[in-house]
Structure 1
Amino acid sequence: MTSSDTRICVVFGAGEYYREIPSVPAGAFVVAADGGLDHAREFGVDVDVAVGDFDSIRGDRPQDDGRTVTLPPEKDDPDLLSALKIGWAHGARAFHIYGALGGRIDHTIANIQLMALLAERGGTGFLHGDGALVTAISDGALEFPAADAAHGGMVSVFSHSDVASDVSETGLKYEIAHVDMSDVRVNGLSNELVPGEPARIEVGRGTLVVTFPLSAPLPRVERFHDVGGDLGRLDTAVSPALVRRGGGHGRDNV
């Protein structure tokens, strides 16, 4: 788990929710990204901020008040990144994101990239999917406490960096120690948690994307050095790269 003094942001996206009921801890900051507002309403969750161009919303558009950020459809940042920036600006460094996996594959890839961005800026994000979570760790470690995870609880590790150096995996069915991984070689797929044993995944330098089962306890995040920076300013402008050819649609971001 992240430390108890880390503020949590829960983000509702417009994608698939599968069978999981979103958990909103007390005191969490809640952001709905575009059509994610429909899902927040369905679960009876009151959001602190709704953000997006609201092109995918089915219900009533939110009122343009202090809790709504309306974006143009022809924008550079996807709605999820805008939601993360808002949560970050409100002090959150741990993010639980629902409705960001499944559906369009380009959205899924983009959202996994955003987990790497969070990790490289000193935050932690968890994408909740179909019985699994996706996170990232940069120059640090994920420590899973011992638990009676069901047999076959898959853990997979991928290098998001060109090269992730000094990678170790201990306490899993397959163990490695101080190896390099690359973004073009798949050698971390389909490992498994061992029931009753703690597990640790660490990278000395670089960023890893890690998937693990929803049934597993959340890992504690250890960082090997302080990380500065942020996610950048909230971009509410029309993309300067837009070429106007008459008509057309926005980037339809989740």
Structure 2
Amino acid sequence: MDFHDARTCVIFGAGDYYDETPAIPDDAFVVAADGGLDHARAFGIDADFVVGDFDSITGDRPTQNDRTIALPSEKDDPDLLSALKIGWLRGARTFHIYGALGGRIDHTISNIQLMALLADRGATGYLHGDGSIVTAICDGALDFPADDAVAGRMVSVFSHSDISTGVSETGLKYELHHADMSSTRVNGLSNEFLAGRPSRITVEHGTLIVTFPIEAPLPHVARWHGFSGDLGALDTDVSSALVEPSGR
């Protein structure tokens, strides 16, 4: 069974853009996350919504209004998750995120985990950066159309789940058929597209993180079943997990 995604959301993050110019579909909902507002302004993009604690913004702080939500710095949700929640509430199920790879490694890991969260809810996220795209697929497939693939540009597959079963990679330089992958064994690194051949990455059960060259055509996403759940309510409170340090 094939489930098509709804409206697209484009999110501007605060990280490196690697000289890439974001592509904004005509009907996209645009969210600037914190310092991502600086980048949106630099590209001449008027964001539909701005959210963050604004600790990384260098330009003028946005005026508080019905298109801006200022968050506390001591919060549970990272700014990107807040931006994803806003896009989700506007009906988006496909997300293109710029400025979310590179820079701080903890932010990069967090952002990749959020792609897995989207996949687990039946949505699709694409992190753009440094000539590559990072996405995730849960219980489904990524079908890449044939194109003029450049030799040596890598496609890699990792299991985000403890165990991902029924993993196949077909139409790539190295084929894999109905394998199991784990989150602690790296056995999907450094594959390649083949020029003029369509390819498919599938997982019967589990969540995969997939990286591929930015010049490749975006895959068609197929899912084996419907998904439930959402990203949760927008959290604008100071974290309840905070405790006073001992010795004060």
TM value normalised by structure 1: 0.94
Residue by residue over 1:112-139, the C-alpha shift from the partner in whole angstroms, topping out at 9 and shown as x without a partner, is: 0000000000100000010000000000
- Aligned equivalent of 1:251: none
Gaps of at least 5 residues in structure 2 are none
Tell whether the 8 Å contact from 2:4 to 2:221 is kept in structure 1 after alignment: no
Q: CA deviation at 1:243?
A: 2.1
Q: CA deviation at 1:236?
A: 0.3
Residue by residue over 1:150-169, the C-alpha shift from the partner in whole angstroms, topping out at 9 and shown as x without a partner, is: 11121000000000000000
Cα separation, 2, equivalents of 1:152 and 1:28: 33
Change (3 A) 1:162 1:5: closer
- Aligned equivalent of 2:71: 71
Residue by residue over 1:223-243, the C-alpha shift from the partner in whole angstroms, topping out at 9 and shown as x without a partner, is: 000001100110000000112
Residue by residue over 1:21-80, the C-alpha shift from the partner in whole angstroms, topping out at 9 and shown as x without a partner, is: 001110100000000000000000010110001011000010101000110000000000
Q: How does 1:201-216 map to 2 (within 5 A)?
A: 201-216=201-216
- Aligned equivalent of 1:171: 171
Tell whether the 8 Å contact from 2:124 to 2:136 is kept in structure 1 after alignment: yes
Cα separation, 1, equivalents of 2:186 and 2:5: 36
- Aligned equivalent of 2:49: 49
- Aligned equivalent of 2:135: 135
- Aligned equivalent of 1:20: 20
Cα separation, 2, equivalents of 1:7 and 1:244: 43
Letter in 1 for 2:171: G
The question of 1:106 aligning with 2:106 is answered yes
Cα separation, 1, equivalents of 2:27 and 2:99: 21
Cα separation, 1, equivalents of 2:88 and 2:44: 24
Letter in 1 for 2:243: V
- Aligned equivalent of 1:197: 197
How many pairs does the alignment contain?
Answer: 245
3-state SS of paired residue (2:167): strand
Q: CA deviation at 1:4?
A: 7.6
- Aligned equivalent of 2:187: 187
3-state SS of paired residue (2:203): strand
Q: CA deviation at 1:245?
A: 4.8
- Aligned equivalent of 2:37: 37
Letter in 2 for 1:35: G
- Aligned equivalent of 1:237: 237
- Over the aligned positions, Cα root-mean-square deviation in angstroms equals 1.4
Cα separation, 2, equivalents of 1:202 and 1:38: 38
Letter in 1 for 2:158: F
- Aligned equivalent of 2:225: 225
Cα separation, 1, equivalents of 2:143 and 2:245: 52
Letter in 1 for 2:88: W
Q: CA deviation at 1:203?
A: 0.1
Tell whether the 8 Å contact from 2:3 to 2:226 is kept in structure 1 after alignment: no
Cα separation, 2, equivalents of 1:180 and 1:207: 12
